[in-house]
Amino acid sequence: MKDILDTDLPVVNLHPGELFVAQAPTLITTLLGSCVSVCLFCPRQKTGAMCHGVMPVREDLSVEDSFRFVETSVRYMVEILTNGDVLCTNAGLVAKIFGGADVLDVRFGPAAKTKSIGSMNIKAAREALARYNVPVAVEEVGGVQGCKLFFYSHTGEVLLRRIPRSFD
Protein backbone atom coordinates (compact mmCIF):
# COMPACT_ATOMS: atom_id res chain seq x y z
CA MET A 1 0.00 0.00 0.00
CA LYS A 2 1.30 3.44 -0.93
CA ASP A 3 2.01 5.70 2.05
CA ILE A 4 -0.42 8.64 2.40
CA LEU A 5 2.46 11.08 2.79
CA ASP A 6 4.18 9.88 -0.38
CA THR A 7 3.13 13.01 -2.24
CA ASP A 8 4.62 15.92 -4.12
CA LEU A 9 2.28 18.29 -2.29
CA PRO A 10 3.53 20.60 0.43
CA VAL A 11 2.59 19.21 3.85
CA VAL A 12 1.37 21.45 6.69
CA ASN A 13 1.07 19.94 10.17
CA LEU A 14 -1.41 21.84 12.34
CA HIS A 15 -0.81 22.12 16.05
CA PRO A 16 -3.53 22.87 18.64
CA GLY A 17 -4.94 26.36 18.15
CA GLU A 18 -3.76 26.72 14.56
CA LEU A 19 -5.51 26.92 11.21
CA PHE A 20 -4.36 26.94 7.62
CA VAL A 21 -6.00 28.33 4.48
CA ALA A 22 -4.45 26.72 1.42
CA GLN A 23 -3.63 29.03 -1.48
CA ALA A 24 -2.34 26.08 -3.52
CA PRO A 25 -2.90 22.30 -3.35
CA THR A 26 -1.66 21.21 0.08
CA LEU A 27 -1.86 18.18 2.36
CA ILE A 28 -2.88 19.45 5.82
CA THR A 29 -2.48 17.07 8.75
CA THR A 30 -3.23 17.13 12.45
CA LEU A 31 -3.58 14.85 15.44
CA LEU A 32 -6.84 15.07 17.43
CA GLY A 33 -8.18 13.91 20.76
CA SER A 34 -10.85 16.11 22.36
CA CYS A 35 -9.98 18.92 19.94
CA VAL A 36 -12.03 19.41 16.79
CA SER A 37 -10.97 20.01 13.20
CA VAL A 38 -13.29 21.58 10.70
CA CYS A 39 -12.25 21.13 7.08
CA LEU A 40 -13.85 23.57 4.65
CA PHE A 41 -13.69 22.97 0.92
CA CYS A 42 -14.87 25.06 -2.04
CA PRO A 43 -15.42 22.64 -4.96
CA ARG A 44 -15.74 25.50 -7.46
CA GLN A 45 -12.36 27.01 -6.62
CA LYS A 46 -10.74 23.74 -5.48
CA THR A 47 -9.39 25.34 -2.33
CA GLY A 48 -9.77 24.58 1.35
CA ALA A 49 -8.96 25.39 4.94
CA MET A 50 -8.63 23.41 8.15
CA CYS A 51 -8.52 24.32 11.84
CA HIS A 52 -7.48 22.57 15.04
CA GLY A 53 -9.85 24.02 17.67
CA VAL A 54 -9.00 23.36 21.30
CA MET A 55 -11.94 25.01 23.09
CA PRO A 56 -15.51 25.68 21.90
CA VAL A 57 -16.02 29.43 22.27
CA ARG A 58 -14.46 32.42 23.95
CA GLU A 59 -16.58 32.91 27.08
CA ASP A 60 -14.36 35.51 28.76
CA LEU A 61 -14.15 38.60 26.56
CA SER A 62 -10.92 39.63 28.29
CA VAL A 63 -9.25 36.55 26.71
CA GLU A 64 -7.70 37.12 23.28
CA ASP A 65 -9.94 35.86 20.46
CA SER A 66 -7.64 33.31 18.85
CA PHE A 67 -7.80 30.25 16.64
CA ARG A 68 -7.76 27.93 19.65
CA PHE A 69 -11.52 28.59 19.79
CA VAL A 70 -13.62 26.50 17.37
CA GLU A 71 -16.16 29.29 16.75
CA THR A 72 -13.45 31.87 15.98
CA SER A 73 -11.67 29.50 13.60
CA VAL A 74 -14.84 28.63 11.68
CA ARG A 75 -15.80 32.30 11.37
CA TYR A 76 -12.34 33.23 10.06
CA MET A 77 -12.17 30.35 7.55
CA VAL A 78 -15.66 31.11 6.19
CA GLU A 79 -14.80 34.81 5.86
CA ILE A 80 -11.51 34.12 4.05
CA LEU A 81 -13.01 31.53 1.69
CA THR A 82 -16.10 33.61 0.84
CA ASN A 83 -14.47 37.05 0.59
CA GLY A 84 -11.23 38.08 -0.99
CA ASP A 85 -9.62 36.14 -3.83
CA VAL A 86 -11.37 32.80 -3.44
CA LEU A 87 -14.97 33.97 -3.99
CA CYS A 88 -16.92 30.93 -2.86
CA THR A 89 -20.41 31.44 -1.40
CA ASN A 90 -21.25 30.04 2.04
CA ALA A 91 -23.64 27.59 0.39
CA GLY A 92 -20.86 26.60 -2.01
CA LEU A 93 -18.63 25.51 0.86
CA VAL A 94 -18.61 21.94 2.11
CA ALA A 95 -17.71 21.21 5.74
CA LYS A 96 -16.35 18.09 7.37
CA ILE A 97 -16.02 17.81 11.18
CA PHE A 98 -13.64 15.47 13.01
CA GLY A 99 -12.47 14.81 16.56
CA GLY A 100 -14.14 15.67 19.84
CA ALA A 101 -13.30 12.31 21.41
CA ASP A 102 -13.36 11.57 25.13
CA VAL A 103 -9.80 10.28 25.11
CA LEU A 104 -9.39 10.81 28.85
CA ASP A 105 -12.57 10.00 30.71
CA VAL A 106 -11.91 11.80 33.97
CA ARG A 107 -15.52 12.62 34.78
CA PHE A 108 -16.36 11.18 38.17
CA GLY A 109 -17.98 12.46 41.34
CA PRO A 110 -19.59 15.91 40.83
CA ALA A 111 -17.94 16.22 37.41
CA ALA A 112 -19.73 13.10 36.11
CA LYS A 113 -22.74 15.17 35.06
CA THR A 114 -20.74 17.76 33.12
CA LYS A 115 -20.28 17.75 29.37
CA SER A 116 -16.89 16.74 28.06
CA ILE A 117 -14.71 19.27 26.25
CA GLY A 118 -14.95 17.04 23.17
CA SER A 119 -18.75 17.19 23.06
CA MET A 120 -18.70 20.96 23.65
CA ASN A 121 -16.22 21.39 20.77
CA ILE A 122 -18.44 19.31 18.46
CA LYS A 123 -21.48 21.41 19.40
CA ALA A 124 -19.56 24.66 18.79
CA ALA A 125 -18.46 23.47 15.32
CA ARG A 126 -22.00 22.47 14.33
CA GLU A 127 -23.48 25.73 15.60
CA ALA A 128 -20.86 27.92 13.92
CA LEU A 129 -21.32 26.17 10.57
CA ALA A 130 -25.12 26.45 10.86
CA ARG A 131 -24.78 30.17 11.69
CA TYR A 132 -22.89 30.68 8.41
CA ASN A 133 -25.20 28.35 6.42
CA VAL A 134 -22.39 25.95 5.58
CA PRO A 135 -23.64 22.38 5.09
CA VAL A 136 -21.86 19.54 6.87
CA ALA A 137 -21.14 16.68 4.46
CA VAL A 138 -19.23 14.41 6.86
CA GLU A 139 -18.96 14.02 10.63
CA GLU A 140 -16.60 11.58 12.31
CA VAL A 141 -16.87 12.85 15.87
CA GLY A 142 -17.01 11.67 19.46
CA GLY A 143 -16.03 8.23 20.66
CA VAL A 144 -13.01 7.45 22.83
CA GLN A 145 -10.19 7.26 20.28
CA GLY A 146 -8.06 10.06 18.93
CA CYS A 147 -7.29 10.30 15.23
CA LYS A 148 -4.78 11.55 12.68
CA LEU A 149 -6.27 13.54 9.79
CA PHE A 150 -4.98 14.07 6.28
CA PHE A 151 -6.87 16.79 4.36
CA TYR A 152 -6.20 17.37 0.67
CA SER A 153 -7.10 21.04 0.26
CA HIS A 154 -7.62 20.90 -3.51
CA THR A 155 -9.95 17.86 -3.59
CA GLY A 156 -11.70 18.07 -0.22
CA GLU A 157 -10.74 14.46 0.49
CA VAL A 158 -10.03 13.66 4.15
CA LEU A 159 -8.37 10.46 5.29
CA LEU A 160 -8.62 9.47 8.94
CA ARG A 161 -6.53 7.03 10.94
CA ARG A 162 -7.84 6.06 14.38
CA ILE A 163 -5.37 5.99 17.25
CA PRO A 164 -5.92 2.96 19.49
CA ARG A 165 -6.22 3.57 23.21
CA SER A 166 -3.31 1.99 25.03
CA PHE A 167 -4.87 1.97 28.51
CA ASP A 168 -8.13 0.05 27.94
For residue 19, being part of any structural domain is answered with no
Q: Among 129, 126, 124, 114, which residue's Cα sits nearest to residue 58? A: 124
pLDDT at 114: 65
For residue 158, being part of any structural domain is answered with yes
Sheet containing 94-99: give its strands across.
Answer: 19-21, 47-51, 36-42, 94-99, 136-141
For residue 36, being part of any structural domain is answered with yes
Residue 40 CB partners (closer than 8 Å, separation 6+): 48, 49, 50, 77, 78, 81, 93, 94, 95, 134
7 — pLDDT class (breaks 50, 70, 90): confident
pLDDT 10s digits, 30-59: 999 999 999 999 998 899 999 999 999 877
Distance CA 128, CA 134 (A): 9
β-pairing verdict for 136-141 and 19-21: unpaired
Is the dihedral angle over the CA atoms 35, 3, 47, 14 positive or is it negative?
positive
For residue 131, being part of any structural domain is answered with yes
pTM of the model: 0.87
CATH number at residue 142: 3.30.1330.200
Is the dihedral angle over the CA atoms 5, 54, 145, 167 positive or is it negative?
positive
For residue 6, being part of any structural domain is answered with no
For residue 86, being part of any structural domain is answered with yes
pLDDT at 58: 78
The boundaries of the domain holding residue 146 are 27-163
For residue 75, being part of any structural domain is answered with yes
Distance CA 144, CA 132 (A): 29
For residue 5, being part of any structural domain is answered with no
Give the chain's domain count. 1
